Amino acid sequence: EVQLVESGGGLVQPGGSLRLSCAASGFTFSTYWMSWVRQAPGKGPEWVANIQQHGSEIYYLDSVKGRFTISRDNAKSSLFLQMNSLRAEDTAVYYCARDKEAGATKLDSWGQGTLVTVSS
């Protein structure tokens, strides 16, 4: 069974940093792209970033470019999101999602999410 478990969320002041982690199990992590998707309270999902199997291709939402960094450790089946210079508008539940092996994106497994609150 595919399992994705996020951690690292919490309350942070504007301008602060957080590092989210996602522990994957139940599938061969190194053969899949992985994505982070966020959902602000009462809003729809918003794709944030994704990373190719070996990290050679990475894409970001424009509003997080230069502030967020996605990375992965295939040996530990783990995905990360380093978030710096956080803003109030980054407040959301952040989900880790399994992306494609090849071809077009399809987010076919999601974690339970971790809440990030940016507030003073």
Partner 1 sequence: DIQMTQSPSSLSASVGDRVTITCRASQGISSYLNWYQQKPGKAPTLLIYGASNLQSGVPSRFSGRGSGTDFTLTISSLQPEDFAIYYCQESSKVPLTFGGGTKVDIK
Residues that bind partner 1 (CB under 8 A): 35, 44-47, 50, 59-62, 95, 97, 104-108, 110-113
Q: Which helix (H) or strand (E) holds 102?
A: none
CB closer to partner 1 out of 62 and 75? 62
Q: Given phi > 0 = left and psi -120 to 50 = alpha, else beta, which region is 101?
A: alpha
CB of 120 to partner 1, least distance (A): 27
CB closer to partner 1 out of 30 and 105? 105
CB closer to partner 1 out of 32 and 60? 60
d(CA 38, CA 81): 12
CB of 70 to partner 1, least distance (A): 12
d(CA 64, CA 22): 19
CB closer to partner 1 out of 13 and 40? 40
Q: Residue 4: which of 47, 49, 45, 34 has the closest Cα?
A: 34
CB of 13 to partner 1, least distance (A): 27
